[in-house]
């Protein structure tokens, strides 16, 4: 089964162990207000605009068969009218427009990843991320199986919002699961992310009970996930499910703001990265809750 991807990141050092190549799959069932990859939420390709290189020539608006573009200081895209035909991309002389997302076969995706295998060494490998990998789990499982056949370490980054069948299929071909648990309160989860977290927590139990190599992570998002109550509650839950859990807190990275600008969307997170002192306060909370393996950045 073919899949839709939107980025390949080479020489990644934060997407699992060692040096890795990460493939990003399109489509996500969650709506995290702080999403670092907003271009990956829509399962279909999306028109991407870089105003910093735009010449303001208006050629794209003139070429669009659906009149989805208007010029007013910068290009504005009517995303309800745009059919993602790509005509404007071909017309733009400055490379300011691109279609984010393309369909590839599992073999082509594996070849994209395995191109870097000489750099993986003994501890690196390939990682699938998104978007949400579980939305394209049949494609993902084929890609990972092909990498495994070549003796390459495999990992996925996932929110766990997906069907149990996906995990059952991915388990035999995935050496490590990097699992995000963002909020433990079900109502808060539903209010902010669009769904409650029952499926996520059930899937987490399933993975831990079935011998998966799991690294649990929580992104520290100012004003959303970085409360003592939330971090303490998550720590209690994961220690109960897996007393030997490895747990990592991911500091907020505000660099994604430019992506929201390119999509003409507001970014609601106003704070910056947490200070070393604030991180230490959370590490103390994890130790108080009995987390034995705290992974520090
Ligand atoms: S992708 Fe096609 S429909 Fe969308 S703005 Fe460009 S030319 Fe118009
Ligand atoms: S064709 Fe390209 S350079 Fe010209 S206005 Fe459109 S996006 Fe900008």
Q: Which of 77, 100, 123 is the last residue of a domain?
A: 100
| 9 and 67 inside one domain | no
What percent of the chain is modeled with pLDDT above 70? Answer: 100
pLDDT of residue 242: 93
Same structural domain, 10 and 57: no
Q: Which of 53-57, 173-177, 213-217, 270-274 has the lowest mean pLDDT?
A: 270-274
pLDDT range class, residue 95, cuts 50, 70, 90? very high
Q: How far is CA 85 from CA 44, 45, 66, 99, in A?
A: 12, 10, 10, 9
pLDDT computed for residue 249 by the predictor: 97
Secondary structure of 45-93 in HEC code, one letter for each residue: CEEEECCCCCCCCCHHHHHCCCCCEEECCCEEECCCCCCCCCHHHHHCC
Q: Is the pLDDT of residue 3 over 90?
A: yes
Chain CA centroid to CA 268, Å: 18
Same-domain check for residues 138 and 162: yes
**CA 84 / ligand 1 centre spacing (Å):** 5
pLDDT for residue 292 is more than 90: no
Q: List pLDDT tens digits, range 151-172.
A: 999 999 999 999 999 999 999 9
Q: What is the pLDDT of residues 141-153, one digit of tens each?
A: 999 999 999 999 9
Q: In 111-126, which positions are buried (b, 16+ CB within 10 angstroms) versus exposed (e)?
A: ebbbebbeebeeebbb
* Nearest ligand 1 atom to alpha carbon 81: 3
What pLDDT, on a 0 to 100 scale, did the predictor assign at position 151?
A: 96
> Tokens 């994890």 belong to which residue?
286
- Is the predicted pLDDT of residue 261 greater than 90, yes or no? no
Average the pLDDT over 257-284 and give the result: 90
Same domain, 119 and 155: yes
Instruction: Say yes or no: 126 and 182 in one domain.
Output: yes
- Domain boundary (32, 65, 100) is at 100
Ligand 2 center to 64 CA (angstroms): 11
Decide if pLDDT at 297 tops 80.
no
Three-class SS of residue 173?
helix
Name the pLDDT band for 83 (thresholds 50, 70, 90). very high
Mean of pLDDT values over 21-49: 93
Q: Give, using CA atoms, the residue closest to atom 8 of ligand 1.
A: 64
CATH number for the domain including 51? Answer: 3.30.70.20
- Confidence at 256, pLDDT banded by 50, 70, 90: confident
Average pLDDT across the chain, whole number: 95
Query: In this structure, what token pair is assigned to residue 102?
Result: 């393309």
156 and 52 share one domain: no
Q: Count of domains in the chain?
A: 2
CATH number, domain of 245, equals 3.20.20.70
Beta-strand ranges (E) seen in the chain are 3-12, 20-25, 46-49, 69-71, 75-77, 97-100, 102-104, 125-130, 153-158, 176-180, 214-220, 246-251, 293-295
Structure tokens at 129: 């991320």
**Is residue 119 domain-shared with residue 64, that is, in the same domain?**
no
Is 68's C-beta closer than 6 angstroms to any atom of ligand 1? Answer: yes
Residue among 75, 88, 99 to mutate when testing ligand 2 (max atoms within 8 A of CB): 75
> CA-CA distance, 136 to 2, in Å (whole number)?
9
What is the predicted pLDDT for the residue at 53?
Answer: 94
Does 138 score more than 90 pLDDT?
Answer: yes
174 with 29, same domain: the answer is yes
What integer is the mean pLDDT of 227-255?
A: 96
- The residue nearest atom 3 of ligand 1, judged by CA position, is 82
Same domain for 155 and 210, yes or no, is yes
**Single residue among 66, 100, 134 that ends a domain in this structure:** 100
Tell if the pTM clears 0.95, that is, is over it. Answer: no
The answer on 56 and 131 residing in a single domain is: no
User: Using CA positions, which residue lies closest to atom 1 of ligand 1?
Assistant: 84
Q: Is the pLDDT of residue 30 over 90?
A: yes
Output the ligand 2 site: residues, CB below 6 A. 54-60, 71, 75, 91-92, 94, 96-97
Question: Does residue 192 surpass a pLDDT of 80?
Answer: yes
63 and 138 fall within a common domain? no
- 9 forms beta bridges with 22
* Closest residue by Cα to residue 22 from 147, 133, 125, 106: 125
114 and 254 both lie in a single domain: yes
| Res 227: pLDDT | 97
248's tokens? 């990592």
Q: Which domain holds residue 72?
A: 46-100
Query: How high is the pLDDT of residue 72?
Result: 87
Predicted confidence at residue 263, as pLDDT, reads 77
């Amino acid at each position: 089964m073919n899949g839709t991807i939107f980025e390949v990141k080479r020489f990644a050092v934060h997407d699992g162990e060692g040096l890795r190549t990460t493939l990003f799959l399109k489509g996500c069932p969650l709506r995290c207000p702080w999403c670092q990859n907003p271009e990956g939420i829509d399962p279909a390709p999306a028109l991407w605009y870089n105003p910093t290189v735009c010449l303001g020539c208006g050629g794209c608006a003139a070429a669009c068969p659906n009149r989805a573009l208007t010029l007013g200081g910068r290009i504005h895209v009517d995303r309800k009218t745009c059919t993602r035909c790509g005509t404007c991309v071909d017309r733009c002389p400055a490379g300011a427009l691109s279609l984010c997302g393309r369909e590839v076969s599992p073999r082509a995706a594996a070849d994209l990843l395995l191109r870097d295998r000489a750099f993986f060494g003994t501890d690196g490998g390939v990682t699938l991320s998104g978007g949400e990998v579980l939305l394209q789990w049949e494609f993902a499982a084929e890609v990972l199986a092909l990498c495994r056949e070549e003796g390459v370490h495999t990992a996925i980054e996932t929110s766990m919002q997906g069907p149990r069948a996906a995990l059952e299929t991915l388990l035999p071909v995935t050496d490590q699961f990097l699992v995000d648990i963002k909020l433990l309160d079900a109502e808060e989860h539903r209010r902010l992310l669009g769904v409650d977290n029952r499926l996520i927590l059930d899937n987490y139990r399933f993975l831990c009970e079935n011998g998966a190599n799991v690294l649990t992570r929580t992104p520290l998002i100012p004003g959303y996930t970085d409360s003592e109550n939330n971090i303490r509650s998550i720590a209690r839950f994961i220690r109960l499910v897996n007393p030997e859990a490895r747990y990592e807190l991911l500091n907020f990275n505000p660099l994604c703001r430019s992506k929201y600008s390119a999509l003409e969307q507001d970014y609601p997170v106003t704070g910056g990265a947490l200070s070393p002192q604030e991180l230490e306060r959370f590490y103390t909370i994890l130790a108080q809750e009995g987390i034995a393996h705290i992974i520090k950045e």
